């Protein structure tokens, strides 16, 4: 029997899915990607490093902030450019804001309908107007932060190698702090609503990979860690996670030893660093009643909710610190263009985003590599679905397809990122 889904809506990018099952055994379970290639790494070669953050962030319309930041960090690492504490804090606030708006979109508008048996978000908004309003407000708060600091939500403008072209005023930061105080209770209320949603039972033991750092819930800096005891510096990333292409496939595979898949994203981060969440986020996480490590991928949605709360609290704290600092220190200072190569990684909403770049002494890019979260977890998702299918063979075709769509969407894949 073949199970075919022609096109999976409500995810970023275009893909179908095909599984073949023989007498109850899943023989194959595979995405059929319907995206064209844009060859982002290829077109960066030969261009000045200054173009890289501008071009690379256009890999993704939903998470440009993290592509922009990771590109900038990799260049700074390669050329040995130091940035100020204020610059790092502003960037971290932007990253939290990216989490807030990306997660709010996914957990409410892309994923929730699946668990309420609704097929169209406009219907979802009609049936749950209060909750929809809350999700929109939370999302708008995240977008507002990016607009104020970055100059624009989709493809921000102010960030560059060495710092910021323009920094927000103390008043603007003060306004954002005030909005953050109002939005936290809204997020906690939405969290309570999500606790009432019944998610499917499915578990498969696996490896969860994320950044990790002493004393903080790492998203901007740290080493690469896993629940199975892995702990390596970012420069060692490609020695541990092997990226390779299978003939005719346009999304490269990433595996730990060439054949074992692993998981990244909210569920991985919470599994690895759940004890470092901010106070309200930790309370919410504990109230869910799942012990860590949690091996149910559907819970990714609840951990996105957890991270929304965390990022609201953390960004508010960072902004309070910034409101007492001299933001002028975040404005780009003169730096030297030098030859060098280096890696960088940040946590994107969907998981660890890795960049590597090699720059010549004039500042031109000799080589670049980008490994996105979705490319990392795509094989893991196929493996999960292969394990999920035997449990849904008895239901009718329509229901089965719906359950598979729900599974895929719970992962929050971004096919545009994965192909790039």
Residues within the interface to another protein (CB under 8 A): 7, 9-10, 12-14, 34-43, 45-48, 51, 54-55, 58-62, 64, 105, 109-110, 113, 119-123, 125-126, 133, 136, 139-140, 143, 150-158, 165-166, 244-248, 250, 367, 405, 416
**17 within 8 A of 5, measured Cβ to Cβ:** yes
> What is the nearest approach in angstroms of another protein to the Cβ of residue 45?
6
Closer Cβ to another protein, 12 or 313, answer by number: 12
Closer Cβ to another protein, 65 or 343, answer by number: 65
The CA distance from 225 to 209, in Å, is 6
> What is the nearest approach in angstroms of another protein to the Cβ of residue 58?
5
Buried b (16+ CB within 10 A) or exposed e, 390-411: eebeeeeeeebbbbbbbbbbbb
β-partners of residue 224 are: 211, 232
> What is the nearest approach in angstroms of another protein to the Cβ of residue 38?
4
Q: Is the dihedral of CA 271, 284, 65, 107 positive or negative?
A: positive
Closer Cβ to another protein, 147 or 283, answer by number: 147
> What is the nearest approach in angstroms of another protein to the Cβ of residue 306?
23
> What is the nearest approach in angstroms of another protein to the Cβ of residue 324?
24
Closer Cβ to another protein, 60 or 176, answer by number: 60
> What is the nearest approach in angstroms of another protein to the Cβ of residue 32?
11
The CA distance from 349 to 264, in Å, is 10
The CA distance from 54 to 280, in Å, is 36
> What is the nearest approach in angstroms of another protein to the Cβ of residue 289?
30
Q: Which two tokens stand for residue 193?
A: 């609503």
Closer Cβ to another protein, 324 or 362, answer by number: 362
Closer Cβ to another protein, 80 or 129, answer by number: 129
Closer Cβ to another protein, 64 or 265, answer by number: 64
> What is the nearest approach in angstroms of another protein to the Cβ of residue 339?
19
**291 within 8 A of 235, measured Cβ to Cβ:** no
The CA distance from 111 to 76, in Å, is 37
> What is the nearest approach in angstroms of another protein to the Cβ of residue 331?
10
Closer Cβ to another protein, 154 or 292, answer by number: 154
Closer Cβ to another protein, 51 or 360, answer by number: 51
Cis peptide bond upstream of 293, omega within 30: yes
> What is the nearest approach in angstroms of another protein to the Cβ of residue 295?
27
Buried b (16+ CB within 10 A) or exposed e, 101-135: bbbbbbbbbbbbbbbeebeebeebbeebeebbebb
Chain-centre distance of CA 40, in angstroms? 19
- Residue owning tokens 């590597």: 356
**202 within 8 A of 323, measured Cβ to Cβ:** no
> What is the nearest approach in angstroms of another protein to the Cβ of residue 217?
26
Contacts of 83 (CB under 8 A, 6+ apart): 76, 162, 163
Q: Which two tokens stand for residue 144?
A: 């507002």
Closer Cβ to another protein, 81 or 112, answer by number: 112
The CA distance from 280 to 282, in Å, is 5
Angle between helices 170-195 and 300-323 (to 10 degrees): 160
The CA distance from 114 to 129, in Å, is 17
Closer Cβ to another protein, 25 or 361, answer by number: 361
């Amino acid at each position: 029997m073949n199970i075919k889904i022609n096109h999976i809506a409500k995810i970023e990018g275009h893909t179908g899915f095909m599984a073949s099952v023989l007498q109850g055994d899943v023989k194959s379970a595979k995405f059929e990607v319907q995206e064209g290639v844009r060859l982002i790494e290829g077109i960066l070669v030969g261009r000045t490093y200054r173009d890289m953050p501008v071009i690379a962030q256009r890999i993704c319309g939903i998470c440009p902030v993290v592509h922009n930041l990771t590109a900038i960090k990799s260049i700074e690492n390669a050329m040995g450019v130091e940035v100020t504490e204020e610059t790092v804090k502003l960037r971290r606030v932007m990253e939290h804001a990216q989490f807030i708006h990306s997660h709010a979109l996914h957990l409410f508008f892309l994923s929730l309908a699946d668990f309420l048996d609704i097929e169209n978000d406009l219907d979802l908004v009609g049936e749950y107007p209060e909750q929809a309003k809350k999700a929109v407000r939370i999302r708008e708060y995240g977008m507002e932060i990016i607009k104020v600091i970055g100059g624009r939500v989709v493809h921000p403008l102010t960030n560059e190698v060495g710092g910021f072209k323009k920094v927000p005023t103390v008043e603007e930061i003060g306004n954002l702090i005030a909005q953050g105080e109002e939005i936290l209770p809204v997020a906690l209320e939405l969290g309570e609503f999500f606790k009432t949603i019944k998610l499917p039972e499915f578990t498969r033991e696996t490896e969860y990979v994320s950044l990790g750092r002493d004393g903080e819930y790492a998203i901007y800096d740290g080493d690469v860690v896993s629940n199975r005891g892995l702990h390596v510096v970012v420069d060692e990333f490609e020695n541990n996670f092997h990226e390779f292409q299978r003939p005719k496939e346009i999304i490269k595979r990433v595996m730990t030893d060439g054949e074992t898949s692993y998981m990244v994203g909210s569920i991985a981060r919470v599994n690895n660093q759940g004890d470092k969440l901010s106070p309200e986020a930790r309370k919410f996480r504990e109230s869910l009643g799942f012990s860590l490590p949690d091996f149910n991928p559907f819970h990714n949605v609840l951990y996105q909710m957890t991270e929304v709360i965390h990022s609201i609290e953390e960004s508010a704290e960072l902004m309070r610190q910034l409101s007492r600092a001299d933001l002028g220190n975040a404005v780009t200072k003169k730096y030297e263009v030098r030859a060098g190569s280096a890696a960088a990684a940040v946590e994107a909403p969907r998981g660890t985003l890795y960049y590597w770049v090699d720059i010549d002494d004039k500042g031109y890019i000799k080589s670049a590599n980008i490994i996105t979260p979705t490319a990392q977890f795509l094989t893991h998702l196929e493996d999960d679905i292969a394990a999920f299918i035997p449990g849904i063979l008895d239901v009718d075709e329509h229901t089965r397809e719906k359950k598979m769509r729900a599974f895929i969407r719970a992962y929050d894949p971004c096919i545009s990122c994965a192909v790039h």
